[in-house]
Structure 1
Amino acid sequence: MSPLFPALRTADRKEALRFGEHALTYAELAGAAGALAGRIAGSGRVAVWATPTLETAVGVVAALLAGVPAVPLNPKTGERELAHILRDSAPTAVLAAPGEPLPPALAALTRIDVVPEAGSAADPPPAEPDDAESPALIVYTSGTTGPPKGAVLPRRAVAGTLDALAEVWAWTPDDVLVHALPLFHVHGLILGVLGPLRRGGSVRHLGRFSVEGVARELSTGATMLFGVPTMYHRIAESLDTDRELAKALAGARLLVSGSAALPVHDHRRIAAATGRTVIERYGMTETLMNTSVRVDGEPRPGTVGVPLPGVELRLADESDGIGEIQVRGPNLFSGYLNRPDATAAAFTEDGWFRTGDMASLDGDGYVRIVGRRATDLIKSGGYKIGAGEIENALLDHPGVREVAVTGEPDADLGERIVAWVVPADPQSPPTAEELAGHVAAQLSPHKRPRTVRFLETLPRNDMGKIMKRALGNGNG
């Protein structure tokens, strides 16, 4: 197959990566990553201590140039989970920024410090592997149903997804992306770093998300913003008083949200203040990206768009207009590392991947995700009810700041709807009756929450997703 990063061979002085005050041109990145690729060639697998730094990006690019599968490690991973990942993936070395402290679990591995200045920019990078099925990355799942599994992502999937997104987002070398996403995950690493590099564009990583950082970068040349709903919620809350932020967002070419559904309420607030709509896309570790709203398509809050070029999507076991999303295409992973049983169970007999996500389809193919089969599909009183629909209705209530909806066992209904609410004013929260009536009026009576529980905050993971399994007795 063709190289993942053709721009690295141009010795271009154009900026490729910027992390805070540290930056590399394409010529400098080619030299640094090429030199490191020569050191790790033939290493089997390498772990990457995936801090939000220039060194992480250089380390991953070097591994891809060398044809060595990279295993990104979340620096916040607990001791037991990290030990499992290391046993399962068996890396021979760990790439890290010089001076970065590493946990004892990594002591047995050869440490290789990533020095972005190393190498000569005049030396061409090594030839990339031409085997499309060659493993590029092994990214570990969140482990919500057991120990994390390593999804083996081939070069074919990385290139296929990024090229499909380039088509639907009109992504070009002129684009400059800003984001603050973690680099141990598909969204931040593959889309947010490898995506711009494959296009020959630039990425500016904030290190830590801030509304001020977003406004600054979008006001000084950045054209695209990638974020998760938590980030866009903070942006939406700031727009009423921050005119510079509104102006910066209005000038952006593309605003993309992913990793979880962006509430319709925040869609509306951002569009009203900036005139810009946020595009949503849908993917997961095992499939990379499946769908997206096209940049030239109709913005439709509450949907994740249509299947990407080359991706086939169907709803299985459909009833009441809702079914499980199943996909197939060049974007799929090769399988779970060391888990042929789990790999086989993840696919249907005719080769479709079972996502576990429930959705409905609009008449023109737009996908509306209800949520995970285990935590977001509530079966109450004979109805299939999507938690996301109720969450969006509750977020339209002025007394609700954040909300999560789950189901829990009920002797009469099968499951009752439970709303976990962070009130806008903790001293004067809305009553349960008021919120139930609001939902009944907005949607229908059978979708109203039967129980309302107030919280100070909602539990979230590193990607900003609400961890519903931590909310007491969820329905999963």
Structure 2
Amino acid sequence: MKRTSQFQPHSVERQQRADGSILLRSRHALSPAVERTGDWLHVWAEAAPGRVFLAERSGAGWREETYEGVLGQVRAIGASLLARGMGPETPILIMSGNGVDHGLLALAAQYVGVPVVPVAEQYSLVHGAHGRLRDVIGLIRPRMAYVVDGDQYGEALALDALHSVEIVASRPGSAQVTAFAELLKGDESVDVDAAFAEVTAETVGKILMTSGSTSSPKGVPTTHRMMCVNQAQLADALPFLRERPPVIVDWLPWNHVFGGSHNFNMMLANGGSLYIDDGKPVKGLFERTLENLSLKTGTLAFNVPLGFGMLLGALEKDDGLRRRFFEDLDLIFYAGASLPQEVWSGFERMAMEVKGEIPLMTSSWGLTETAPCAMMQQEPAPRSGIVGVPVNGVTVKLIPDADMRCEVRVKGPNIMQGYFNDPEKTRAAFDEEGFFITGDAMVFLDDNDPDKGMRFDGRMSEDFKLQSGTWVRAAQLKLDMLSRLTPLSADLVITGADRRQIGVMIFPNVAELNREGFSLQEEGGAYSCALLQGEIRRRLSERAREISGSSTLVSRAIVLAEPPSMPEGEMTAKGNLNIRKVLVRREKLLERLYDDNDPAVVTI
């Protein structure tokens, strides 16, 4: 099959050390990087002043801001910040989701050396999640906070924790706040050029909060060097980014490193255009995504597996959209979880039907602390689930266990130096050689050929032992069970630590179950439905006939009636489950799962 897009071939140096650890690094040299994000803005404002950089929906069309226009607004906002006495010690809390004004404020703050702290909008809009917002405010102590709409965010803005913080809103409404338009007026009394000159590669551009899926969220100071080097690494891996300006129509949230650093900065670094998709891959908002794609399609497509699965279904039903989506596409890139193979194959088939060739379909691996890309599958992959090899300039340290499953540690110029105001967690995050301890696990596709790449194999902390002493690789097992239980299950938790058998606590896809005619009745926090339980039993039994060994046999299940709670910490802003929180908060349901006489429990 013919595939489009240039890529840098894998060329990995593997060093086996006497202590059993393995070092991996690319043999390719890392290209030079700019010092500051503002350097990119100057380059493209001069080279392509009229090209669209940022756009968002406005009525039936788009509000489009060019590189030249963005630079002018960034300098004006930067002057307003400086006139307020703001600097490296006065961060700006951004409480709203993606938007042009959000982007302008973030770039302006970085331009003059003021860190921004974007947080999930759910922290402000969900009443029960305000505790998370208070935690962030207490940690970073912002001087200014931004929201898009003063009335919409009014409840959060009334928090005592924001009492002395200047609030800025694009649409003030009835709230007594500073209008964003005031920042755009600038201030001639300050020297913006001098402030920009003082920004260095070591200046903190943003503080990103970790997801909190395995512990409480931590602040990750992200320097200009981390962001700029990572874009050089990505463009080295995917040289077509430098050949023509990329275009994306993207919903991924900027409070997360995937959307806010990887994608946003990829457009800025390469003179691309970012059209903000105000839809999401959820019921009621995905229709907006399809409307946006009917107006504009990109050269790159980024999404999570759920989003690609929904998009595949929509493209199958719309010949015109399918043609427009693929005709100029260089890259399909998924992250956050493994892309189901049937979705991968569906996109390959469609691409061949539309244009006779397949764009580069790939993924990478990294964390908030790695800015984010540390490994990438930059060659065409034979299937989904491969995260590739170290990007240029990164050294990966692998610590194999008896099964050659490797704990992953990393070192490089895109890796953070430590957590914000947390020396204890910083010390625990690095080993004696200065490698960042990620907590993730990987395996080689081919033990004898590191150029084949690696496959993500879950979190070390999620694994557990059964009473028999058998290790259970929970993350990989979860992916398999989600596939087996689709579309009945929206998410699930693998159980069994120190027990005789593996079980699964299922968060159901209630809308799908209702459509299928299942009659759900709650009994003490669990759903009891003979028809649904029978279907789950059938699928578990079918799977049991295909596998061998207690380490992968799931023999019991329970369907939870209450969805995961963000206020209680069971679900992160990214939509990931905090497994520990779920198991602790639902301890009684966990005990019921191992009661063979409980009518809500499915056993095989």
TM-score by length of 1: 0.87
Q: Report Cα offsets for 1:273-317 as digits up to 9, x if no partner.
A: 4445642222211112211221x4334312222221111212225
Distance 1:68 1:458 in 2: 39
Q: Who is 1:138 aligned against?
A: 207
Range with greater deviation from structure 2 (394-403 or 134-143): 394-403
TM-fit CA distance, 1:176: 0.4
Q: Report Cα offsets for 1:5-62 as digits up to 9, x if no partner.
A: 4453235011000111222101110011111111223513222233221111111100
Q: Which has the larger radius of gyration?
A: 2
1:250 aligns to what SS in structure 2?
Answer: helix
TM-fit CA distance, 1:129: 4.2
Range with greater deviation from structure 2 (161-170 or 10-19): 161-170
Asked if the contact 1:227–1:256 (Cα under 8 Å) also holds between the matched residues in 2, the reply is yes
Asked if the contact 1:458–1:466 (Cα under 8 Å) also holds between the matched residues in 2, the reply is no
- Determine if the alignment matches structure 1 residue 372 to structure 2 residue 459: yes
Structure with bigger helix share is 2
Equivalent residue in structure 2 for 1:412, among 486, 500, 509: 500
Q: Who is 2:37 aligned against?
A: 4
Range with greater deviation from structure 2 (309-318 or 239-248): 239-248
Range with greater deviation from structure 2 (239-248 or 156-165): 239-248
Q: Who is 2:50 aligned against?
A: 13
Q: Who is 2:543 aligned against?
A: 439
Distance 1:270 1:419 in 2: 31
Range with greater deviation from structure 2 (42-51 or 302-311): 42-51
TM-fit CA distance, 1:125: 7.2
Asked if the contact 1:69–1:136 (Cα under 8 Å) also holds between the matched residues in 2, the reply is yes
1:453-464 to 2 correspondences below 5 Å: 453-454=558-559, 459=564, 461-464=572-575
Amino acid at match of 2:52: E
Q: Report Cα offsets for 1:326-360 as digits up to 9, x if no partner.
A: 11111111211111111010010111111111221
Q: Who is 2:554 aligned against?
A: 449
Amino acid at match of 1:155: H
1:41-52 to 2 correspondences below 5 Å: 41=82, 43=86, 44=89, 45-52=91-98
TM-fit CA distance, 1:468: 3.6
Q: Report Cα offsets for 1:226-247 as digits up to 9, x if no partner.
A: 2122212222343443334433
Distance 1:309 1:232 in 2: 28
Amino acid at match of 1:241: K
Amino acid at match of 2:222: L
1:50-89 to 2 correspondences below 5 Å: 50-77=96-123, 78-89=129-140
Distance 2:143 2:486 in 1: 53
Q: Who is 1:108 aligned against?
A: 164
2:232 aligns to what SS in structure 1?
Answer: helix
1:58-457 to 2 correspondences below 5 Å: 58-77=104-123, 78-97=129-148, 99=150, 101-102=153-154, 103-104=157-158, 105-112=161-168, 113-115=179-181, 118=184, 126=193, 127=196, 129-144=198-213, 146-169=215-238, 170-172=240-242, 173-209=244-280, 210=286, 213-214=289-290, 216-217=292-293, 220-251=296-327, 252-275=329-352, 276=358, 278-287=361-370, 288-294=372-378, 296-316=379-399, 318-363=401-446, 364-365=449-450, 366-375=453-462, 377-380=463-466, 381-394=468-481, 397=484, 400-402=487-489, 403-412=491-500, 416-418=502-504, 420=506, 422=508, 425=516, 427=518, 428-429=531-532, 431-446=535-550, 447-454=552-559
Amino acid at match of 2:333: V
Q: Which runs of 5+ in 1 are unaligned?
A: none
Amino acid at match of 1:269: G
Q: Who is 2:31 aligned against?
A: none
- When residues 394 and 72 of structure 1 are mapped into structure 2, their CA distance, relative to the original with a 3 A threshold, is closer
Asked if the contact 1:291–1:308 (Cα under 8 Å) also holds between the matched residues in 2, the reply is yes
2:554 aligns to what SS in structure 1?
Answer: coil
Q: Which runs of 5+ in 2 are unaligned?
A: 1-33, 124-128, 169-178, 281-285, 353-357, 519-530, 565-570, 591-604
TM-fit CA distance, 1:396: 5.1
TM-fit CA distance, 1:388: 4.3
1:409 aligns to what SS in structure 2?
Answer: coil
- When residues 404 and 159 of structure 1 are mapped into structure 2, their CA distance, relative to the original with a 3 A threshold, is same
Superposition RMSD in Å:
3.2
Range with greater deviation from structure 2 (102-111 or 194-203): 102-111
Amino acid at match of 2:574: M
Q: Who is 2:21 aligned against?
A: none
Range with greater deviation from structure 2 (311-320 or 194-203): 311-320
- When residues 341 and 394 of structure 1 are mapped into structure 2, their CA distance, relative to the original with a 3 A threshold, is closer
2:497 aligns to what SS in structure 1?
Answer: strand
Asked if the contact 2:208–2:219 (Cα under 8 Å) also holds between the matched residues in 1, the reply is yes
- When residues 370 and 378 of structure 1 are mapped into structure 2, their CA distance, relative to the original with a 3 A threshold, is farther
Distance 1:270 1:420 in 2: 29
Asked if the contact 1:264–1:392 (Cα under 8 Å) also holds between the matched residues in 2, the reply is no
2:387 aligns to what SS in structure 1?
Answer: coil
Task: Provide the identity percentage.
Answer: 22
- When residues 20 and 219 of structure 1 are mapped into structure 2, their CA distance, relative to the original with a 3 A threshold, is closer
1:270 aligns to what SS in structure 2?
Answer: helix
Amino acid at match of 2:138: R
Q: Who is 1:38 aligned against?
A: 79
Distance 2:236 2:339 in 1: 23
- When residues 270 and 467 of structure 1 are mapped into structure 2, their CA distance, relative to the original with a 3 A threshold, is farther
Distance 2:310 2:497 in 1: 34
Asked if the contact 2:367–2:373 (Cα under 8 Å) also holds between the matched residues in 1, the reply is yes
- When residues 434 and 182 of structure 1 are mapped into structure 2, their CA distance, relative to the original with a 3 A threshold, is same
Amino acid at match of 2:75: G
TM-fit CA distance, 1:81: 2.0
Range with greater deviation from structure 2 (244-253 or 6-15): 244-253
TM-fit CA distance, 1:433: 4.2
- When residues 322 and 440 of structure 1 are mapped into structure 2, their CA distance, relative to the original with a 3 A threshold, is farther
TM-score by length of 2: 0.70
- When residues 387 and 232 of structure 1 are mapped into structure 2, their CA distance, relative to the original with a 3 A threshold, is farther
- When residues 322 and 362 of structure 1 are mapped into structure 2, their CA distance, relative to the original with a 3 A threshold, is same
Distance 1:426 1:301 in 2: 33
Count matched residues: 469
Amino acid at match of 2:538: E
Distance 1:281 1:399 in 2: 25
Distance 1:204 1:469 in 2: 37
- Determine if the alignment matches structure 1 residue 465 to structure 2 residue 579: no
Range with greater deviation from structure 2 (422-431 or 138-147): 422-431
Amino acid at match of 2:80: R
Asked if the contact 1:239–1:270 (Cα under 8 Å) also holds between the matched residues in 2, the reply is no
Higher relative contact order, chain-length normalized (CA < 8 Å, sep 6+): 2
Range with greater deviation from structure 2 (271-280 or 306-315): 271-280
Asked if the contact 2:465–2:497 (Cα under 8 Å) also holds between the matched residues in 1, the reply is no
Range with greater deviation from structure 2 (81-90 or 434-443): 434-443
Range with greater deviation from structure 2 (228-237 or 30-39): 228-237
